[in-house]
């Protein structure tokens, strides 16, 4: 015990000497900026949470290496919402009241983002989601909320145009997983099919967490669907497409960014089942020139920066840039600056409108190949 | 309503019902013997799915190529391992509480379920896992034109056949062996059976082991059929199987099988001809209705209050 005390005192003394010698340096580096990274780090959507974390972590590392934000280093705080609204609110409260974060990158599931963003907005904290596409995220008049991805109503337009003009489908079935994100996407698809003069032949929801969708697949056959749109995530999309193929229903399945992970191939039971599956997602950030060196850096570290990794990186860059420019950490000031100035990110120049949505959305259609990879549809 | 679609929905319901039935057996047997609901049973099924993938990988590494042999070996190994889980769950979570209030083992069961889920999540990761397809191909029946057919995959046939064989073996075991007789005696009156020389603790252990084995059969078959699983699959299917057990009459073995089939068929038919959104609402309303008119379930016996 005595020895331990002595050791601790020695350490303290050393730190004191260090502080005296490097006084000015130490005071400049004393500050940290706490930024929360919230998303499904556990649970069925953990694959996306991992993408978030990887992107944010790398961005923080790189920004700190370039001198941090006005001399302060970024410190990340993890928040795990498991894609559950209840837990998301608890995480948001913890980040605000306990960790005192200055900004938040997250959340992933729209159903979590919507209630959590209310907590941040109330506390005047800047919050930016790299992935939540439900319109309600930015439609509620909260002034400090942003997103670095597109909106479901934009995804729906691209999806509907593709189904009608490219696939020339006549009998489209629209399915969803009864979740805020999934149903929002399906609703947007339904609305845009209607503007193109097509009425869907079926509009129904399946239950999340189940694996057997055979009854629904048979129903798709009975309504003679020639294309199926699914608003939901890969954990249900995988078994759904597999059971469609096994029941001899070889029509295209179109979905949104919720299946944007190679985990989709696993959940479909192998690459041979993902052929004929299409999805909308932003233009592949890995192909944008500004992100080239970063992508290589990730790959060198043995990590493929798929899905939202670069989105989360870009979100962190935007936050840092706003803090640098305004010399402030107040959410309202940061928000005002972001709405007035474009930001250079790893995904190119991004600028926001008054709601906090991107001015330009870049959704394109992707196709899953029999090799279990995805490529842009030309 | 076309004939093909009706038959196809019946097939879907039959396959789903067989899986429910296999898991429901575990709920019903445990309830029959010690009068408690083993809420960790669904998670034993989930563990069986993981074990299936592990054994599959191990056997493939050992160079075994023939699918029927692999399936049989995986099934046997998974049953053995899962049975051990069933046995230890009972030892750890329920046996020490045998003489406490009826509520204590129920809560301990829910706790056990959370422990199993989180233990698998932490040790195996939260992502969806997958197994390669072993059973290819399907049968096409009543084919009559390009979209007029009934398609049954060989994996689905395997599920139904194995479920029938498993249930038949279990039924035979209960009716014809000495241990089965002891089970029935304990179910009728635990104290009296103990007085007459039945080792009730052993009987209870055996029942847990058997219940877990049936869940293992379901877990293995479903993994071969759907090819994907995660740490959370036990929850939804556990609730459904429990519903099936109550529907058929909890405590009754044929009741669990019947309940599973009724629930599977009801879900498929309702989902196919009415609406998928309200499938679960319908299934549970059906349960409430049955319980109003037959409080002990379809094949259950009303519990006799002993004086």
ipTM: 0.88
**Closest in B13, B138, B277 to A204, CB measured:** B277
Residues 203..222 of A with a Cβ closer than 8 Å to B: which? 204-207, 209-212, 214-216, 218-219, 221-222
Gap between the Cα atoms of B282 and A48, Å rounded:
33
CA distance B80 to A367: 43
In eight-state DSSP terms, residue A363 is: E
CA distance B124 to A239: 20
CB atoms within 10 A of CB A203: 18
Look at the block and give the residue holding tokens 């954990």: A235
For residue range A134-175, what is the model confidence (pLDDT) as tens digits? 999 999 989 999 999 988 888 989 999 999 999 999 999 999
Contact yes or no for A121/A127 (Cβ under 8 A): yes
Q: Looking at the complex, does the CB of residue B147 fall below 8 Å from at least one CB of chain A?
A: yes
Nearest Cα residue in chain A from B136:
A246
Cis omega (within 30 of 0) on the bond before B292?
no
How high is the pLDDT of residue A25? 41
Provide long-range contacts, Cβ within 8 A and 24+ apart, for A352-357. A352/A146, A355/A138, A355/A139, A356/A138, A356/A142, A356/A145, A356/A146, A356/A147, A357/A138, A357/A147, A357/A151
What is the per-residue pLDDT across B27-62, written as a single tens digit (0 to 9) for each? 999 998 888 889 999 999 999 999 999 999 999 899
pLDDT at A9: 52
According to DSSP, the β-strands at A277-282 and A363-368 are: antiparallel
Tell me what pLDDT residue A166 has.
Answer: 92
Quote the pLDDT of residue B306.
52
Q: What pLDDT tens digit does each residue of chain A (378 aa) get?
A: 455 455 545 444 444 444 444 444 434 445 889 999 999 988 778 888 989 999 999 999 999 999 889 889 999 999 999 889 999 999 999 999 999 999 999 899 999 999 999 999 999 999 999 999 899 999 998 999 999 998 888 898 999 999 999 999 999 999 999 988 899 999 999 999 999 999 999 999 998 888 899 999 999 999 999 999 999 998 899 999 999 999 989 999 999 988 988 889 988 888 889 999 999 988 877 788 888 889 999 999 888 888 899 999 999 999 999 999 999 889 999 999 999 999 999 888 999 999 999 988 888 899 999 998 888 887
**Cβ contact A215–B267 (<8 Å):** yes
- Is A266 close to B9, i.e. CB distance below 8 A? no
pLDDT the model gives residue A29: 45
Q: What is the pLDDT of residue A3?
A: 54
Q: How far apart are CA B239 and CA A211, in angstroms?
A: 14
Interface size A-B, in CB pairs within 8 Å, comes to 122
pLDDT of residue A270: 85
Residues in A closer than 8 angstroms to B236, CB to CB, are: 207, 209-210
pLDDT in the model for residue B127: 75
With a cut of 50, which residues of chain B have pLDDT below it?
Answer: none
Q: What's the predicted TM-score (pTM) here? A: 0.82
Residue B190 token pair: 């635990």
From the CB of residue B298, how many other CB atoms can be counted at a distance below 10 Å?
A: 16
Do the Cβ atoms of B275 and A219 come within 8 Å?
A: no
Cα-only R_g, chain B: 20
- CA-CA distance, A115 to A85, in Å (whole number)? 7
């Amino acid at each position: 015990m005595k020895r331990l005390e002595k050791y601790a005192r020695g350490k303290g003394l050393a730190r004191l000497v260090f502080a005296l010698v490097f006084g000015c340096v130490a005071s400049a580096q004393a500050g940290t900026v706490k930024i929360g990274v919230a998303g499904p780090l556990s649970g069925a959507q953990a694959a996306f949470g991992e993408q978030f974390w990887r992107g944010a972590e790398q961005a923080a590392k790189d920004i700190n290496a370039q001198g941090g934000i006005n001399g302060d280093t970024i410190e990340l705080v993890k928040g795990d919402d498991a894609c559950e609204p209840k837990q998301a609110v608890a995480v948001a409260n913890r980040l605000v009241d306990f960790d005192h974060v200055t900004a938040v990158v997250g959340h992933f599931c729209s159903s979590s983002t919507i209630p959590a963003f209310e907590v941040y907005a109330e506390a005047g904290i800047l919050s930016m989601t790299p992935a939540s596409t439900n319109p309600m995220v930015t439609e509620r008049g909260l002034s400090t909320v942003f997103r670095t991805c597109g909106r479901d109503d934009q995804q729906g337009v691209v999806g509907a145009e593709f189904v009608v003009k490219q696939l020339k489908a006549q009998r489209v079935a629209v399915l969803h997983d009864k979740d805020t994100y999934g149903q929002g996407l399906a609703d947007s698809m339904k609305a845009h099919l209607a503007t193109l003069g097509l009425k869907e032949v079926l509009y129904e929801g399946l239950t999340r967490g189940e694996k057997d969708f055979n009854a629904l697949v048979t129903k798709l056959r009975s309504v003679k669907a020639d294309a199926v749109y699914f608003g939901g995530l890969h954990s249900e999309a995988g078994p759904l497409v597999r059971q469609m193929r096994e029941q001899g229903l070889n029509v295209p399945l179109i979905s949104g960014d919720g299946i944007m992970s190679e985990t989709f191939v696993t959940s479909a039971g192998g690459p041979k089942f993902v052929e004929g599956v299409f999805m909308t997602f932003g233009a592949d950030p890995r192909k944008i020139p500004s992100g080239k060196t970063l992508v290589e850096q990730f790959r060198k570290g043995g990590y493929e920066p798929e899905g939202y990794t670069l989105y989360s990186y870009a979100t962190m860059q935007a936050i840092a840039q706003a803090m640098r420019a305004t010399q402030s950490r107040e959410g309202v000031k940061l928000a005002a600056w972001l709405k007035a100035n474009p930001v250079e990110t790893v995904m190119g120049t991004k600028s926001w409108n008054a709601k906090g949505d991107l001015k330009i959305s870049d959704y394109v259609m992707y196709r899953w190949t029999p090799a279990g990879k995805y490529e842009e549809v030309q | 309503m076309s004939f093909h679609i009706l038959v196809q929905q019946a097939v879907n319901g039959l396959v789903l019902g067989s899986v429910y039935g296999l898991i429901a057996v575990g709920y019903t047997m445990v309830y029959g013997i010690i009068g408690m609901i083993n809420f960790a049973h669904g998670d034993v099924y989930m563990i069986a799915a993981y074990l299936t993938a592990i054994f599959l990988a191990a056997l493939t590494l050992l160079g075994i190529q023939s699918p029927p042999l692999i399936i049989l070996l995986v099934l046997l190994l998974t049953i053995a391992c899962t049975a051990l889980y069933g046995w230890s769950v009972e030892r750890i979570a329920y046996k020490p509480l045998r003489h406490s209030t009826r509520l204590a083992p129920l809560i301990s069961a829910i706790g056990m379920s959370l422990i199993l889920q989180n233990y698998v999540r932490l040790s195996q990761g939260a992502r969806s896992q997958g197994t390669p397809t072993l059973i290819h191909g399907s049968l096409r029946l009543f084919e009559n034109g390009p979209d007029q057919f009934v398609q049954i995959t060989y994996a689905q046939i395997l599920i139904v056949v194995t479920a029938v064989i498993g249930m038949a073996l279990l039924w035979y075991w209960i009716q014809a062996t000495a241990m089965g007789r002891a089970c029935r005696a304990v179910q009728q009156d635990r104290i009296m059976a103990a007085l007459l020389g039945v080792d009730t603790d052993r009987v209870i252990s055996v029942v847990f082991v058997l219940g877990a084995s049936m869940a293992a059969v379901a877990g293995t078959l479903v993994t071969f059929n759907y090819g994907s699983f995660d740490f959370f699959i036990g929850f939804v299917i556990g609730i459904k199987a429990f519903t099936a057990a109550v529907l058929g009459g909890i405590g009754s073995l044929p009741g669990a099988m019947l309940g599973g089939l009724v629930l599977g068929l009801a879900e498929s038919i309702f989902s196919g001809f009415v609406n998928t959104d309200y499938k679960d609402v319908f299934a549970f309303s059906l349960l409430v209705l049955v319980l109003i008119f037959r409080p002990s379930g379809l094949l259950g016996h009303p519990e006799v209050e002993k004086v």
